[in-house]
Amino acid sequence: METAQTLGNRVALDRLGTIASSVCALHCALCAFAPALLPLSGFGVLVSHGAEWGFTLVATVLAIAAAIKGYCSCGAWKAPAMLLTGGIVLFIARFTETLGVDVPEVFITVVGGGILVGGHLANLRACRS
């Protein structure tokens, strides 16, 4: 049985993960559809490869932590599977860009971020019941 504090920590982790994944997906969409907007508004650093790797790492670490806590507390497998899949998709997108593979990595990244958001929301729902 989960204590109130443990449940609160897990819920906070999923909420933080949902926000981080949403910000990551929004960042990728902005970089793809309005690449001149960020440098003009003073946020040019967000267009860098370092920022993209940073977003990927933070979102994936939060996803892994939420997957472990979610699975251990309620035993549901769907949400952790989604979280791990989303992290893998984000890394695939980063490596396609790094290796110069001719694939529109922004779409892969946005899909990966969307899977992460869905995984965090599924994790919240699964362990509430």
Report pLDDT digits (tens) over 54-70. Answer: 888 888 888 888 888 76
Most confident of 4-18, 43-57, 64-78, 79-93: 79-93
Q: Which residue has the tokens 């979102």?
A: 59
Residues above pLDDT 70, as percent of the chain: 69
23 has pLDDT over 60 = yes
pTM of the model: 0.71
* Higher-scoring residue by pLDDT: 123, 75: 123
Could you give the domains of the chain?
4-128 (1.20.120)
The radius of gyration of the chain's CA atoms, rounded to the nearest angstrom, is: 16
